[in-house]
Amino acid sequence: MENLVDIHNHCCLSSDSAAKPEDMARTAFELGVSHFSLTDHVELDEFHDGEWDYYAAIAKTRPTFDKLSAEYDGKMNIYYGVEIGQPMYNLHAAEEILAEHNYDFVLGSVHRTCHYEHMGKIPDNEFDRKRVIIEYWEDMLNLVEWGKFSSLAHMTFLLRFASVDTPAGVVADKTERARAAFDTYKTIIDKILETIVKKDIALEVNSSGFRRGLGGPMPDAAFINRYRELGGKMITVGSDAHQTADIAKDIEKCYEVLRGCGFNEICVFKRKEPIFIKI
Ligand SMILES: [Zn+2]
Ligand SMILES: [Zn+2]
């Protein structure tokens, strides 16, 4: 694989990973990854009152990046990245962090909504299934309208956790959820995709959907095709690895899906500017 790219990864500077940053980078290099980024979480809704000390973690990200960049200079392209979750819940802090840190690459994410703090604990009934998915898309639309990031992360993340109610009934099968959600919520999904196209925000194709049982990347081909139809040209890819074993996992499967959707190149971001790479 000539251009194995993985620019969505986490290390112990995220609260949900124990991996050492140097182990993540070394594994990526050994696997032949040519473009790599650590994108540790900054969850803005819990920034001030959660248990995790974001200030301490964020303060370590730049020195970590500088050290790894020096170590792999000329061997692997490394970008200074971050994944900001729920920025709309603390816009002031989000903008302050972005102003203070000269990130190359910023992922924008929705990991929870106002009524559902833990996606893994959504009650499986019609009221909650419908409310969470509407809140999820509305939060995502707000996120992209704000738009101060490079790529929209794992657009169908919610579908790892929630069945989808459609006019024809509940779709519980994980591999069918993306199609059901795409058809049922087409209007707001179109608005989200139109907005990222208009604002030059990339669409991330996240390979973890394969290992989470969704049968494809997040989002899958239906969303990627629609993004392309609406004029979208910028795709980023990432494994969302939180441990060395998942680095670059199923990225090649993402490339196959992307080629099937008519994409022959993806991009990485350096100082927030896209650089296109053939796949
Ligand atoms: Zn995420
Ligand atoms: Zn992530």
* 9 conformational bin, left if phi > 0, alpha if psi -120 to 50, beta if neither: beta
How confident is the model over 120-160, as pLDDT tens digits?
Answer: 999 999 999 999 999 999 999 999 999 999 999 999 999 99
Ligand 2 centre distance from Cα of residue 85 (Å): 9
Ligand nearest to the CA of 14: 2
Ligand 2 centre distance from Cα of residue 111 (Å): 9
Ligand 2 centre distance from Cα of residue 168 (Å): 33
Report the domain count for the chain.
Answer: 1
Ligand 1 centre distance from Cα of residue 219 (Å): 13
Q: Find the domain containing 144 and state its range.
A: 4-278
Ligand nearest to the CA of 153: 1
Which residues of the chain carry a pLDDT beneath 70?
1
CATH number, residue 50:
3.20.20.140
Ligand nearest to the CA of 15: 2
Entry pTM: 0.97
Ligand nearest to the CA of 40: 2
Parallel, antiparallel or unpaired: strands 4-6 and 33-38? parallel
Q: Give dist(CA 16, CA 33) in Å, integer.
A: 23
Ligand nearest to the CA of 109: 1
Residue 5: predicted pLDDT:
98
Which is it for the CA torsion 46, 131, 126, 209, positive or negative? negative
Ligand 1 centre distance from Cα of residue 66 (Å): 23
Would you call 145 exposed, middle or buried from its count of C-beta atoms within 10 A (0-12, 13-18, 19+)? middle
Strand partners, 81: 105
Residue 1: predicted pLDDT:
53
- Find out whether 225 and 216 touch, Cβ atoms under 8 Å: no
Residues listed for the chain: 279
